[in-house]
Chain A
């Protein structure tokens, strides 16, 4: 071919390519942990509105997800990262995985959730890790509910509580943090020793604790108290085998008996899709998305304008003073606390 023809052909080729690129919708990639869930039509709404496809990258549990974000921070594999909670937030910020975003929607969010500096990460949802108890067991045995963490060491509750290992379980960690909030870094180990003496059962993961040990679940286990989520009673109703009017379980919500976990979203540093990422973050904080959260992930929306489903209103006990600890302290002492716990409980 002569030069002219070649130029023209290349030109046509390029035009075609460009056209095809333009015709194809862009993709926004959102990296989340495995427990992320959202309704199809809610996502579809966003996709239609902005003319893009949203791809979700489920990356394991919260720790695994953060690991991957950190490992790929020089060449991010996604645009948005969701799912880092307050126990991991400091770490995420320190590693520089996020880039700041001062979203306008933050106006609608209460300040108590905005704990990330420079809005590097924005709160999306929160939940309480609480002790669930089996109502039937307690009423059937005429047992009083423990009103504080301390009361759990009472011999009348011997062997009735199952907890998870904070080294291997997120609710387990949260509960341990609650005890640290209550008894302090110096005193929590004594408390745990007392719990141990009082026959507390320790397992490694939530599935075993809830489905094997807990008497209030379909597993019909021996322990009527389990460290689980404040929303679990609602889930029991929503996912019941036969229709239930009342939840078979409830949460103990005394002072510092529950630990509040907040989950955050952030734009990944170095993303090529900044504009669209911002849109998505805004969307996650909008009422549409926030109202979809409860029945999908069984956590509470941070947006107080979002309406809660009936099951949440009816079956969930919200603690007045959930425990929480400063991010930096968690960052600093996490290993030490867990190792201390392991020594006392597993030695």
Chain B
């Protein structure tokens, strides 16, 4: 359905998007994830036709639409600031796309009510948009985008400006709505929790490229680069040297660590690597020494809803964060059992 080939875009003097390839060929929700400034919104706008790439093609159902004006693409777009037309009511906003398509009035009214119902906003039919709350505006914006039955739906950080509880609630609703539609959706966000909860597939943007694409589970289980691991919140990082290859065992200054993960890279013995230990990968145990057993001193712990987020001071001084079921005493020295599947290994950029 949608194919992006070789998309290049410059911003001032450096590349914003470099050789981007992307494909969406069924009714799935693809999430473009990346930090602010990574070009994901620009990529979305290029797909929408609101911006032009310097190089590359956008193909839809095989047709090259790179130069096709936005208003002829029949793509729906939901803006970060909603961009509701302030001089029109809710109903008029939603009806706009249908009017532009030339649909008869009767049909327009029906459809407007249909989509408003979908987003649970039927009561707001004749309200002025300027007095709506954030959540209400977001839903109207969504309804407006889907009312003309677009072939592709583009969402640019749709819940970005909402507060947390609202965001979660609306995400759930959004997921419902998107599932009901049988339209491919491209969803842009910088928030990985959001991305994971809504996407069928993820594409992560960093340094002008897509560094990993896959299902949320795939990406979360093994983030493709060190940077991505950091982006996803995996901060526990340590250097090490490969001691044996099968299973991959690495010596670090905390101790020996053995990983169950397919590290996706051919490491040689004595290679320098960097390891990430996921925060949910440690268990308070009474292991003593040996592989995957580290000792750490509790620095601080924070209650986090269903568990504790504990700061540990590791041997050598670095700070690691692990989740724990129970609250440990500050200052306690605790042995931690590290799960093999929670150890991710990456090339050490400085050496190997």
Q: Are chains A and B touching directly in their complex (CB below 8 angstroms)?
A: no
